[in-house]
Structure formats: C-alpha cells, structure tokens
C-alpha cells in the first residue's frame, strides 16, 4: 500500500509513438494543401483548430469546475485534465497561422468589403481590425495560459510537499478563473468564428462555444479515462461510480449545448429577419440540412436517451462509445457552423477538411500523451486521496468493469 | 479507525429507547406477533458484510437501516432493481406528449391564430413548453412514484419497537431479517445473526 506507483502506464508511450508520426505525416500533407489552395487550407485549418482548441480550453474549464465542487469524479480525471491544459502552449503556436491567414478567412480584413456596408465601417474601425484581433487573441491566451500554469504548478507542488493549503489556493483561483473562462471563450468565439460573417450576429453564439468546448473536453476525458482504466494504476482507483458521475455531467452538458443551440435557432426563426435568418438558410437546405438533422439526432437525441440509463452510464465500455459519438458530432457541428460561411448553400467538402483535424489531432494527442506521462496519474497528496481510493476499493469486488 | 471512539461515545449516551420499551411491554399483554429479528452494528462496513452474508445464506426478506445512505447496502441485501426510473420515464414521455399536443390542439384546432405568417403547427415554438411539461410531469412521477413504492406515508412501522432503534438516525446500523422470509426460523435466524457479528440481537414485534 505504501509503495504503490501511480505513474502513467507504459502503454501511454504507444499512443505517443503512433500519434506523433501519423499526425506529422498528415500535417505535412496538409501543408501541401497550402500551396494548392490557400483559401481552402486556412478554412480547413480554422475548422480543425476550433475542435482541438476546444478540448484544451474546455479541459481548463472542467479542471476549475472540479476544484470548485470537489468529489471523486473530478479527482480521478484531474491529471488527465491537467495534461490537456498543458497543451495550450501548443495551441498558441497553432494559432499563429490563423493570424497569418486572416486575409483568406475574414472578410473584414478587406477594405473593399468593409466599404460595401456602412454598418461595417464603424465595426471594423473599433473592433474588427487585425491589430486589435491579435491583441485580443493574446489576452485570451495569456489568461488561459496563466490559469493553466498556476493550476498545474500548485498541483505538482502539492504532490511534492503534501501541503493541503494548495487545494485551497487552486479552489480560490478557480472561482474567478471560471468567470474569466466564460468571458474569454465568448469573445474568442466571436472573434475567430462569428466574425467569418461580420454582418451577422447572435448574442448566444459565445455560450454555444462555452458549452460545446466543455462538452467536447468532457467527452475526450471520458474516452481517455476509459482507456487508462484498463491499466494500472487507475485500474484500482476508478470505480463504476466515477463513470456514473461523469456520465451524468455529460448528459448535463449535452442538454446545455442543446439548449443554447436551439435557443439561437428558435429566436432567429421566430424573428425571421432577413439579416439574421440568412445564417440558417444555407445551413438547413440540401446536404447541409441533412447534417443539421444528423446533429439533432446524433448530437442531442441519441446521447440524451442513452445517458438516461443508469447501467449504461456505469459501464465504461458503453459510455466510451457515446463519448466517441459526441466527439465526431462536435466535429460535424463545427463544420456545419464554419464552412457554409464560405461555400453558402453549395455543399463542398475538401480532402483538407478531413486531413486537417486528423493531422492536428495527431500532434495534439502526442503532446497530450507526453504531458500525461510526466506526472503520476493520481494527485497523491490531495486531501481527497484516501476517501476516493476507499470508494474504488470497496467497489472492486463487485465491479463489472 | 474511529470505531472505538464511536463505541465509547455511544455507551455514555442515555438510552433514548427507554420510552419505546415501555410501549412494547404494554403490548406484551396481548400475544405479540413477530415482525422479524434485528441485529445491531457499530459501523457501515460490518453491516454491509453481514448483509452480504445474510443474502448469501439464502435470506431474501432482509432490510438494513443506517443514519446515512450506503450505496453498497442496497446491493448487498439484493435490492438492485427498482421500477422508479421506468415510472419517471413514462411520466416524462406523457408530459412531453401532453405538452406538445396541448399546444397543437390550441394553435391548430381550437383557436388558430396567424402569428407572423407562420404555419399554425409551428413546432419549434412548442418546444420550450414541451420541455417544461416533460420535466414537470417526470418530477411529479418521481416524487409520487417514490412515495407509492415505499408505501409512504407510513405512520407505524414495527422496527421502531426494537431497542436502540432510535440510534439508527445517529451512529448505529441495523439489519433485520423479516419473519415472512421463507428461510426464517426463530432460533436458527437469531443464532445466524450472532454469527455474522451482530450485537444485541433481538425480536421485533409487530
């Protein structure tokens, strides 16, 4: 009991060894796309970035949430979340091409586009200009990186010193940190994604990203935990009870995302104003309409019904399938939100839209695996340690895992 | 680790159950029927272990009492399935359908009103109220279903006749094997409860 190792399993190395070359090769292929079709390259790149940045930033939100609430479910995913937030420097690096490609992405970078609409002139002067865009992005990343830095730093210091006061510090930071998360993600989603159509606006757009980034992070963490639970040390720590709680939170976030996404639709559909409804019109026709329907059924209805069941939530093998489905549907939903800004009604998917998320994902996963293997998978000196371990052990005898 | 502490603490406590004793002895004049046999435990893990062994020994009409919920306990006494989720699901479905078709009937059948040139059956506008009705009826089904399944409210229950049972809301844990269990036999069951580590094994009268 005293000398149990909580280090990450060696199997994690295999993930890194597979993800890194795959990601590197696909990313290299994507770079070829840069020379073939620059506009398409940046669109696909932004789409991939919107997904993987969401998992990094959403993990930061979940990390702060579990510091605020406590509980076994948060304790068992804490190191996974911390590793995911340590990918934020990588995301900062991956953000730079978006600044470089702003000219191909954002109509407000073109003086002649701005001149077409009088309303846009003021908007562009005060807010939508490249200098301010870069400054704002720097602020978002500075806030995220600072929060991630302190939460990670204090966590490892607690591992070393066994000082319980670090728990309080992390909790105290997480309260205002969570508020900052909501504000930064709101503004970041307006800057990076909503401004693709600078004359269209929706006040709930930022909240859709707040909910969906947290949702994709949670789905990713559940999948990662289900895989890690196959091996020591988490095998003896994680109990069906923890998957049950994570499944409940997943249901809550699925519903929260559905609530925001549907609210936007309901309000715009009710008003039916030309300058607002034109965002939906291309997205509910033809192939985009089919994708919208798929999102309603597979992103909301199916996960909702599935996650009502207690026994399915407690079974990691089945829960991981729902988490995987949600991740796929997150990608599809982001594609549906971003791509019609460029293509309109015309449905067109480039090979780059498939290669970009996979390539970036390979790099992200390799970086994540490397970070995860650097620390014990359990916060060994957390005050909750004993009680969570007890839960795991008392369930061990009859766990169906 | 705090078991010893708990034990010594409770020994210094006055017996709140004395009043219960009086009422029981008054009843003794008429022939008392047996509800079951009760054993006492000092901590939840002893209770769960004993409950598990009782179930394994073939007893099925068993019940545990503790000051706070113990998740393993219901599993240990073989109480794994409850029909409450099904009741709530049915309540939710009925609420959702009721909410939707209430609006459909109002908007399409009873009082058709042209709102902004939209079709009478403007289903997106019906969704919020459909959702609220789903939650409302599901919540009612949960509360009422729970009361019905637990046979509540119940002004009288025999277990309160047992000595010390008032401590079940404090720091004591109890296991009861009911007399209507097919395997129940007074002396044997009493003996059995002693062997699984119960203290103060006593009869519980109806």
For position A70, what pLDDT does the model report? 87
**What would the pLDDT profile of A346-384 be if each residue is shown by its tens digit?**
888 899 999 999 999 999 999 999 999 988 888 887 888
For position A348, what pLDDT does the model report? 84
Mean pLDDT score, B91-100: 97
Cβ pair B40, B174 in contact under 8 A: yes
Mean pLDDT score, B129-140: 97
Rounded to an integer, what distance in angstroms lies between the CA atom of residue B80 and that of residue A167?
A: 37
> Of A82, A79, A11, A16, which is closest to residue A369 (Cα–Cα)?
A16
**What would the pLDDT profile of A4-51 be if each residue is shown by its tens digit?**
678 878 788 888 888 999 999 999 999 999 999 999 999 999 999 999
**What would the pLDDT profile of A217-235 be if each residue is shown by its tens digit?**
999 999 999 999 888 888 8
Q: What is the mean pLDDT of chain B?
A: 85
**Hey, is the C-beta of B129 within 8 angstroms of any chain A C-beta?**
no
Nearest CA in chain A to B126: A266
Min Cα distance A288 → chain B (Å) is: 19
Rounded to an integer, what distance in angstroms lies between the CA atom of residue A277 and that of residue A175?
A: 37
Rounded to an integer, what distance in angstroms lies between the CA atom of residue B195 and that of residue B50?
A: 9
Is the pLDDT reported for residue B44 higher than 50?
yes
Give me the residue from A265, A308, A395 closest to B124, CB to CB: A265
User: Can you read off the two tokens belonging to residue B44?
Assistant: 């939840």
Nearest CA in chain A to B88: A308
**Hey, is the C-beta of B72 within 8 angstroms of any chain A C-beta?**
yes
For position A396, what pLDDT does the model report? 45
- Buried/exposed code over A227-241 (b: 16+ C-beta within 10 A; e: otherwise): bbbeebbbeebbbbb
User: Can you read off the two tokens belonging to residue B55?
Assistant: 């179930």
**Partner-chain contact A266 B75, CB within 8 Å:** no
Min Cα distance B117 → chain A (Å) is: 10
CB contacts, 8 Å: A270 with chain B: 116, 124-125
Is the pLDDT reported for residue A257 higher than 80?
yes
Is the pLDDT reported for residue A392 higher than 90?
no
Min Cα distance B45 → chain A (Å) is: 9
Say how many residues make up chain B: 206
**Partner-chain contact A270 B128, CB within 8 Å:** no
Residue A116: CB atoms within 10 A of its CB come to 11
**What would the pLDDT profile of A297-320 be if each residue is shown by its tens digit?**
999 999 999 999 888 999 999 999
Mutate: best of B1, B48, B56, B71, partner A, most A CBs <10 A:
B71
Rounded to an integer, what distance in angstroms lies between the CA atom of residue A327 and that of residue A335?
A: 13
Q: H/E/C letters for each residue in chain B?
A: CCHHHHHHHHHCCCCCCHHHHHHHHHHCCCCCCEEEEEEEECCHHHHHHHHHHHHHCCCCCEEEECCCCCHHHHHHCCCCCCCHHHHHHHHHHHHHHHHHHHHHHHHHHHCCCCCCCCCCCCHHHHHHHHHHHHHHHHHHHHHHHHHHHCCCCCCCCHHHHCCCHHHHHCCCEEEEEECCCCCCCHHHHHHHHHHCCCEEEEEEEC
The pLDDT confidence band at residue A398, using thresholds 50, 70 and 90, is: very low
Min Cα distance A271 → chain B (Å) is: 9
The pLDDT confidence band at residue A206, using thresholds 50, 70 and 90, is: very high
- Buried/exposed code over A170-182 (b: 16+ C-beta within 10 A; e: otherwise): beebbeebbebbe
**What would the pLDDT profile of A59-112 be if each residue is shown by its tens digit?**
999 999 999 998 889 999 999 999 999 999 999 999 999 999 999 999 999 988
Cis peptide preceding B153, ω within 30 of 0: yes
The residues pairing with B63 across neighbouring beta strands, listed in sequence order, are B176
For position B6, what pLDDT does the model report? 42
Q: What is the DSSP letter of A296?
A: I
Mutate: best of A296, A301, A393, A394, partner B, most B CBs <10 A:
A394
**Hey, is the C-beta of B2 within 8 angstroms of any chain A C-beta?**
no
Is the pLDDT reported for residue B58 higher than 60?
yes
User: Can you read off the two tokens belonging to residue A76?
Assistant: 């068992």
CB contacts, 8 Å: A269 with chain B: 124
**What would the pLDDT profile of A124-166 be if each residue is shown by its tens digit?**
889 999 999 999 999 999 999 999 999 999 999 988 888 888 9
Sequence ranges of the domains in chain B:
1-31, 34-206
Min Cα distance B124 → chain A (Å) is: 6
Q: Which residue has the tokens 């099904």?
A: B86
The pLDDT confidence band at residue A123, using thresholds 50, 70 and 90, is: confident
The pLDDT confidence band at residue A210, using thresholds 50, 70 and 90, is: very high
Nearest CA in chain A to B119: A270
Rounded to an integer, what distance in angstroms lies between the CA atom of residue A366 and that of residue A381?
A: 27
Q: What is the DSSP string of A3-51?
A: T---PPPTHHHHHHHHHHHHHHHHHHHHHHHHHH-HHHHHHHHHHHHHH
For position B11, what pLDDT does the model report? 42
What pTM was computed for the model?
A: 0.85
Rounded to an integer, what distance in angstroms lies between the CA atom of residue A347 and that of residue A340?
A: 8
Range name among A182-196, B24-38, B53-67, B150-164 with the lowest pLDDT average: B24-38
Q: Which residue has the tokens 């902004």?
A: B116
Min Cα distance B72 → chain A (Å) is: 8
Residues 138-197 of B with CB under 8 A from A: none
For position A235, what pLDDT does the model report? 80
Rounded to an integer, what distance in angstroms lies between the CA atom of residue B141 and that of residue B135?
A: 10
**Partner-chain contact B124 A241, CB within 8 Å:** no
Rounded to an integer, what distance in angstroms lies between the CA atom of residue A380 and that of residue A162?
A: 8
**Partner-chain contact A241 B72, CB within 8 Å:** no
Sign of CA dihedral B71, B75, B77, B81: positive
């Amino acid at each position: 009991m005293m000398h149990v190792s909580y280090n990450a399993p060696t199997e994690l190395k295999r993930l890194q060894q597979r993800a890194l070359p795959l990601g590197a090769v696909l990313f290299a292929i994507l770079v070829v796309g840069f020379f073939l079709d620059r506009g398409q390259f940046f669109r696909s790149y932004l789409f991939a970035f919107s997904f993987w940045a969401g998992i990094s930033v959403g993990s930061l939100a979940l990390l702060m949430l579990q510091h605020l609430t406590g509980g076994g479910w948060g304790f068992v995913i804490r190191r996974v979340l911390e590793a995911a937030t340590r990918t934020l420097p990588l995301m900062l690096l991956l953000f730079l091409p978006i600044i470089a490609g702003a000219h191909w992405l954002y109509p407000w970078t073109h003086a002649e586009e701005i001149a077409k609409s009088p309303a846009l002139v003021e908007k562009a002067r005060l807010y939508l200009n490249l200098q301010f865009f870069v400054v704002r992005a720097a602020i978002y990343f500075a806030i995220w990186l600072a929060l991630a830095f302190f939460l990670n730093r204090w966590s490892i210091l607690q591992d070393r010193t066994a000082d319980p006061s670090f728990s309080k510090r992390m909790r105290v930071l997480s309260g205002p940190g969570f508020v900052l998360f909501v504000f930064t993600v709101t503004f970041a989603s307006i800057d990076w994604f909503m401004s693709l159509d600078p004359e269209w606006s929706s006040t709930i757009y930022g909240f859709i990203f707040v909910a969906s980034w947290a949702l994709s992070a949670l789905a990713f963490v559940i999948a990662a935990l289900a895989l890690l639970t196959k091996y020591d040390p988490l095998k003896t720590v994680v109990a069906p009870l923890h998957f049950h709680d994570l499944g409940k939170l997943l249901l809550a976030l699925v519903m929260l995302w559905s609530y925001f996404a549907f609210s936007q639709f309901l309000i715009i559909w009710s008003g039916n104003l030309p300058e607002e409804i034109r965002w939906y019109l291309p997205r509910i026709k033809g192939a985009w309409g089919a994708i919208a329907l798929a999102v309603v059924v597979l992103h909301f209805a199916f996960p909702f019904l599935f996650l009502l069941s207690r026994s399915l939530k407690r079974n990691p093998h089945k829960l991981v399938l729902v988490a995987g489905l949600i991740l796929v549907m997150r990608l599809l939903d982001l594609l549906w939100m971003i791509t019609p800004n460029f293509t309109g009604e015309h449905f067109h998917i480039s090979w780059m839209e498939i290669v970009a998320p996979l390539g970036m994902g390979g790099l992200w996963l390799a970086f994540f695996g490397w970070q995860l293997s650097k620390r014990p998978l359990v916060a060994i000196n957390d005050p909750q340690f004993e009680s969570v371990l007890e839960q795991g052990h008392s369930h061990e005898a009859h766990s169906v895992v | 680790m705090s078991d010893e502490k708990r034990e010594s603490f409770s020994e210094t406590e006055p017996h709140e159950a004395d009043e219960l004793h009086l009422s029981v002895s008054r009843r003794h004049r008429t022939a008392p029927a047996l509800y079951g046999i009760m054993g006492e435990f000092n901590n939840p893990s002893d209770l769960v272990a004993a409950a598990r062994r009782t179930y394994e020994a073939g007893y099925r009409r068993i019940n545990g009492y503790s000051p706070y919920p113990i998740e393993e306990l219901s599993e240990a006494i073989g109480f794994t399935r409850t029909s409450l989720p099904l009741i709530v699901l049915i309540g939710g479905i009925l609420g959702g359908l009721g909410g939707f078709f209430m609006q459909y009937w109002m908007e399409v059948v009873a009082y058709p009103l042209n709102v902004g040139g939209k079709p009478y059956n403007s289903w997106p506008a019906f969704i919020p109220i459909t959702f609220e009705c789903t939650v409302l009826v599901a919540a009612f089904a949960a509360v009422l279903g729970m009361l019905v399944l637990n046979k509540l409210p119940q002004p009288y229950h025999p277990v309160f006749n047992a000595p010390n049972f008032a401590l079940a809301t404090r720091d004591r844990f109890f296991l009861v094997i009911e007399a209507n269990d097919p395997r129940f036999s007074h002396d044997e069951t009493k003996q059995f409860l002693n062997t699984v580590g119960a203290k103060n094994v006593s009869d519980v009268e109806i």
